[in-house]
Structure 1
Amino acid sequence: MPKTSSETAAPCTRIALHGPTMGTRWSASVDADGAVNQEALRRDLAFAAQQVDMQMSPWKPESDLVRLNRAPVDTWVDLPPEMLEVLACAMDIHRQSAGAFDPCVGALVDAWGFGAARDAPDAAAIQAARQAVPIPMHKGLELDRPAGRARKRAPVQLDLCGIAKGYAVDRMAAVLRQHGVRHALAALDGELRAVGGQASGVPWAVALESPDVGRRAARGVIELEDLAVATSGDYRHYLKVGDAHLAHTMDARRAAPVNNAVASVTVLARTCMEADAWATALLVAGPGEGLALAQRRGLEALFLLRRPEGLVELGLGRFAAS
């Protein structure tokens, strides 16, 4: 009798790999067969996450991002292809979102105490950032990907924290495939990407976090199979200044932290880089503009809105049934 596919398939073992990066931790749940070299896989996953951090961190003085920010206007700066890929995607989503996603907020991030420059808001720096003439990303930055370089066309300060973690997860997914892994879930903070489904044939179950300050609790479950998800919100990274609760995400149009009714936005996308950037854009855009933007762009998104009666869910795509 011929053997079935389940009889010929190599048995898989669930392994959990993880390590520190970007002020948090990367992780990967892998259904691996005996051909997978676990130590080599762990090493390469850690390198993938660390490489993105070394290139795009605003906190590391030697990073490529800091080099670009410090370079004089109209001076070409050689950059690695990975960072140019992220900058190109960031520029595209900046345009598509009408500026809601804006990586040119580095000065605002520092002024409000979320960057490397200071750990509390600075009134003079905030005023200076507000008085600066807003510059669209496509006018403030020029990319030359064939030559591997970029230059600022205006004195902008870039911050890629709204997209770099998602890209790091994509790099981890690529490493998993290079090692022959067909069933895995890569994660970094609130960004995740599934490589296939579980070896058992069911999708990966991912908890949708409730946007509660000071505690972690699941509000629901998302199923992923060859899909990425990212969440942006006002509840995890913030500063308390008196009675004010300042979210870490900047609204460049107001030159201030996001301050609207959106507690969190979760986005599904083909890549985690896109999901990460769009989640940030929709959080900034707010409940009305953000929902309309997501509808125009055909995004699958879930908004959790703070209302007097409690949290209200608004979903699009696969979230519409929520």
Structure 2
Amino acid sequence: MTSSVIRPALAVVAAAIMALAGCSFEPEKKVWEISGPVFGTRYTVDLVLENDPDRLRNLADGIKAVLETVDSSMSTWRPDSELSRFNTVEDQSEWFPISQPLYEVLAAAHNISKLSDGAFDVTVGPVVNLWGFGPEARPDTVPDDAALASVLASVGYETLELREEPPAVRSSKRQYIDLSAIAKGYAVDAVAEYLAAEGANAFLVEIGGEVRAHGRKPGEQPWRLAVEEPVEQARQVNRIVVLEDQAMATSGDYRNYYEVNGRRFSHTIDPETGRPIKHKLASVTVIVENCTMADGLATAFNVMGHEKAMALATRLNLAAYFIVRGESGFETYQTPAFSSYIVD
């Protein structure tokens, strides 16, 4: 992981507080940006702090350490990661000791799998790899039915068993776990919790589009974020939302895909069919308290399609926003819980 970049964010300065009996001033605060590469994408942390170079450098180093810990535990791209070591164990029926962070992510993933009736499944990794969206090279041709059926036979989150104390995992049949649909969200949470423990009162953490907000910007302004229009050619705003002490994640098929003979293949795989999703849902955005759940739920809803996902999110009183390809352009749908976050 290369060094972080630290710089003031775009012109946000807190006003001094004036008292009637004379004048008293708070130290000037700005929004400082700490950013760098991670997980094949980038992280950006906006911090509301005084101009304290030593503290900023220390926080930047701490953020990098947190991200390195998550990567060394949950990456399938690193053969030395904790997850990769489990994935290469021949007999996975014995308890395999794991760290507390990996246990927490696997437990959250299992919960989302049950809520979504298997639309989210971290054991779909071999199918993801077969379609060329994992650490292995992209295939020259689309997988045939026989190859797909062979790999799909091993998929099933129900075979995984977790032990809370001491943390461990095992499986009744050999599995390859892929946490790419939830680990970024967990990393966002891990950075947010680190910053809160270090006394940061206001910040916005973003990794590859998954975000978590805490506190407010200078001037007591909430964090404003864009829900993107799901188009490949440019970054356009579809909606603006405000966040304070919430997390937001978006899943869509418009960034990570490839085409073969004019057919588009999304990186989002339906665990039931083993094939990339083909419905008209272009993107779904979820707002909940933590980014681990937001990330996983957004993927689950993307797999389900907007009608089933809308019904489930409404029943669970979750804030979700769906952008669907219609005959004459994009159509949008939102759950009742999402309405309070939208800026008119």
Decide: shared fold, TM above 0.5: yes
- Verify the 8 A CA contact 2:124 2:156 in the aligned structure 1: no
Question: Which of 123, 140, 147 lines up with 2:166 in the alignment?
Answer: 147
Q: Distance in 1 between matches of 2:175 and 2:335?
A: 34
The alignment partner of 1:113 has SS state of: coil
Q: 1:246: Cα distance to partner?
A: 0.9
SS of corresponding position for 2:188 = helix
**1:83 matched to 2:102:** yes
- Alpha carbons of structure 1 residues 192 and 141: separation in structure 2 relative to 1, 3 Å: same
Give 1:222's aligned amino acid.
V
1:133 aligns with 2:158: no
What is the aligned counterpart of 1:103 among 84, 107, 122?
Answer: 122
1:223 to 2:227 alignment: no
CA distance in 2, matches of 1:33, 1:314: 41
Q: Distance in 2 between matches of 1:141 and 1:242?
A: 38
> Which residue is equivalent to 1:32?
49
Partner of 1:46: 64
Q: 1:256 aligns with which of 275, 299, 303?
A: 275
| Structure 2 residue 200 is matched with structure 1 residue 189 | no
Residue 41 of structure 2 corresponds to residue 61 of structure 1: no
- Deviation at residue 121 of structure 1 after TM alignment: 6.1
Q: 1:121 to 1:104 in 2, by over 3 A?
A: farther
Identify if the C-alpha distance between structure 1 residues 221 and 123 changes in structure 2 by more than 3 Å, giving closer, same or farther.
closer
Q: How far apart are 1:117 and its partner, in Å?
A: 2.3
Identity of aligned residues (%): 33
The amino acid of 1:133's aligned partner reads A
Aligned residues between the structures: 320
RMSD: 2.1
Deviations 1:77-118 (A, max 9, x none): 221110110000000110011111111101110110111222
Q: Deviations over 1:96-151 (max 9, x none)?
A: 111111111011101101112221266567633424436541x3111112112111
Secondary structure at the aligned position of 2:264 is classed as strand
| 2:227 and 2:240 in contact (8 A); partners too | yes
Q: Please give the TM-score of this superposition, normalised by the length of structure 2.
A: 0.87
Measure how far apart 1:231 and its partner are: 0.2
Q: Secondary structure at the residue paired with 2:71?
A: helix
**Residue of structure 1 in register with 2:31 after alignment:** 14
TM-score by length of 1: 0.93
Contact 1:113 1:122 in 2 (8 A): no
**8 Å CA contact retained: 1:112, 1:121:** no
The superposition leaves residues 220-269 of structure 1 with CA deviations (integer Å, 9 ceiling, x where unpaired) of 21111111000000001111212111111110111111111100000000
Whether the 8 Å contact between 1:204 and 1:224 is mirrored in structure 2 is yes
The alpha-carbon deviation at position 210 of structure 1 amounts to: 1.1
Match of 2:111 in 1: 92
Instruction: Identify the residue that residue 325 of structure 2 maps to in structure 1.
Output: 306
Which of 275, 284, 290 is the aligned partner of 2:303? Answer: 284
Contact 1:112–1:122 under 8 Å retained in 2: no
SS in 1 for 2:122: coil
Unaligned runs of 5+ in 2: 1-17
1:166 aligns with 2:191: no
Alpha-carbon distance in 1 for matches of 2:289, 2:207: 16
- From 254, 266, 291, the equivalent of 1:247 is 266
Report how far residue 201 of structure 1 moved: 0.7
One-letter code aligned to 1:58: T
Unaligned runs of 5+ in 1: none
SS at match of 2:196: helix
Q: What is the CA–CA distance in structure 1 between the aligned matches of 2:112 and 2:188, rounded to whole Å?
A: 18
Between Structure 1 and Structure 2, whose CA radius of gyration is higher?
2
> What is the alpha-carbon distance in structure 2 between the residues aligned to residue 303 and residue 204 of structure 1?
21
Decide whether the 8 Å contact of 1:108 with 1:126 is kept in 2: no
Specify the SS of the correspondent of 1:104: helix
2:45, 2:34 → 1: CA distance?
5
